[in-house]
Amino acid sequence: MTKSSDKELLRASFKLEYPYERSPGPVIGKFFDELSNEVLVGTKNSKGEVFVPAAEFDPKDSEHLSEFVEVKNEGVVQSYTWIEKPRAHHLIQESFAFALICMNGTNSAMLHMIANCKEDELEIGKRVKVVWNQEKTQTIRDIKYFEIIDD
């Protein structure tokens, strides 16, 4: 008997996806609605801390969050990783960075991408601003990416 490990592997095409839709609910839904209007909103806890992207609850004490505040579409890079050669699935197929960005006046960070810059222009603490996608889908992708603010 030949072992399976000696045989050729059968191959079939396969699309990696969630084959279902999700309902974003009142908090994340509001955040996405506003994104499609090119407005960034966050949720505020009773201590006055603001979460962008909007959080449904405070990650520290689970306080239910429902108060929305608008924030400017500028922030500061908390960390980043430069991807010189983008790989399959990456949305930007030229060199770009993933980054954690703390929007001005907020107390958490947002994961997104930074493009239109060179690696050596990027550093922790750099100021960046939103570049909107022309086509809105009411998803996190309504932000196309961030770019560096020239001082």
Return residues touching other proteins (CB under 8 A).
3-10, 14, 16, 18, 22, 24, 28, 51, 53, 55, 59-60, 78-85, 87-91, 98-100, 107-113, 119, 124, 139-141
How many residues belong to the chain? 151
Residue 99 in contact with residue 121, Cβ under 8 Å?
Answer: no
Quote the least distance from Cβ 120 to other proteins, whole Å.
Answer: 11
Shortest separation between residue 137's beta carbon and other proteins, angstroms: 9
Residue nearer to other proteins on the CB measure, 37 or 79: 79
* Token couple for 7: 């045989």
**Choice between 87 and 150, CB closer to other proteins:** 87
Q: How far is the CB of 5 from other proteins (least distance, A)?
A: 4
Could you say which DSSP state residue 150 is in?
P
Closest approach of other proteins to the CB of residue 146, in Å = 12
What type of residue is 70? E
The smaller minimum CB distance to other proteins, of residues 5 and 134, is found at: 5
Please tell me whether residue 3 adopts helix, strand or coil conformation: coil
Which residues are bridge partners to 70 per DSSP? 41
Residue whose C-alpha is closest to residue 52's, from 25, 72, 82 = 72
